[in-house]
Amino acid sequence: MRSVQAAGGAPLSGAGPARPGNRARRIALLVVVATVIYALDQVSKFLVVKFLEHEEPLTVVPGALVLTVIRNAGAAFSIGTGMTIVFTVIALTVVVAIVRTARQLRSLPWAITLGLLLGGAVGNLTDRIFRSPAPFQGHVVDFIQAFPVTRFPVFNVADSAIVCGGVLAVFLAWRGYQIDGTRQTEEEPSGSGAEQAVEPAESRDGIPEHARGEVPEQTREQAGDRSRERADG
């Protein structure tokens, strides 16, 4: 069966590629997810800047969730401050890479994953391009502080989407799910069924048929006597 599959061009492992019509639907899902994340990110930043900046932190859930506005010149979770232009270039590269990868997209889980990454990357990139202090050097608005006693870095909706998308990407790659809708699985172990070697047949005197011509007559008689003794016993 495996030789027939190989001759016919069928994959030996994993599911076959999804129908071409799935590509348009998966790309549409990616765009929807990215748009929702981007809208949530920008609207939330607009609201907190308007109502909470230069104000006391707003406690939403005591000990668990506080809203406090800061301006972040670094990457997600206030990492790498002082490298704003570098992170702007990285964000642009990520956006271009996701758009190029989407041309092969036929997987539903990967459509959601890339949508989260794209929406988060574009959300923070918008801040870097348009916010103060200068174009392409803007500081990202962060405002979500989870469990303040742990001193966990302040983040925003875009950061959350990027982290969730990254975790999903690692999980999908680990499970073998491909962007084109196929899935890699381990090859079946060899030596099953018809592939196993057939043991040579033996005659009633215990000597393989293919070796009878190579065994002296006396040896065959002795083997025959032993076979008859076992039968009489």
Q: For residues 25 and 35, what is the distance between their CA atoms, to the nearest angstrom?
A: 15
**Are 49 and 113 contained in the same domain?**
yes
Catalytic residue among 41, 127, 142, 232: 142
Quote the tokens at residue 216: 């002296």
**Are 113 and 216 contained in the same domain?**
no
Given a cut of 70, whether residue 206 has pLDDT beyond it is: no
Count the domains in the chain: 2
Q: Residue 208 falls within a domain, yes or no?
A: yes
142 as an active site residue: the answer is yes
**Are 165 and 124 contained in the same domain?**
yes
Given a cut of 90, whether residue 227 has pLDDT beyond it is: no
**pLDDT tier at 214 (50, 70, 90 boundaries)?**
low
**Alpha-carbon separation of residue 204 from 47, 89, 109, 169, 197 (angstroms):** 93, 82, 63, 63, 22
Give the pLDDT of residue 7.
44
Mean pLDDT of the chain: 79
Range of the domain at 108: 22-175
The residue from 175, 194, 223 where one domain ends is 175
Closest C-alpha among 31, 41, 28 to residue 76 = 41
Strand partners, 141: 71
Query: What is the pTM (predicted TM-score) of this model?
Result: 0.69
Q: Residue 180 falls within a domain, yes or no?
A: no
**Are 225 and 113 contained in the same domain?**
no
Given a cut of 50, whether residue 21 has pLDDT beyond it is: yes
Q: Residue 2 falls within a domain, yes or no?
A: no
**Are 211 and 135 contained in the same domain?**
no
Catalytic residue among 41, 127, 159, 225: 159
**Are 42 and 77 contained in the same domain?**
yes
Contact 40, 157 (CB under 8 A): yes
Q: Residue 169 falls within a domain, yes or no?
A: yes
**Are 28 and 72 contained in the same domain?**
yes
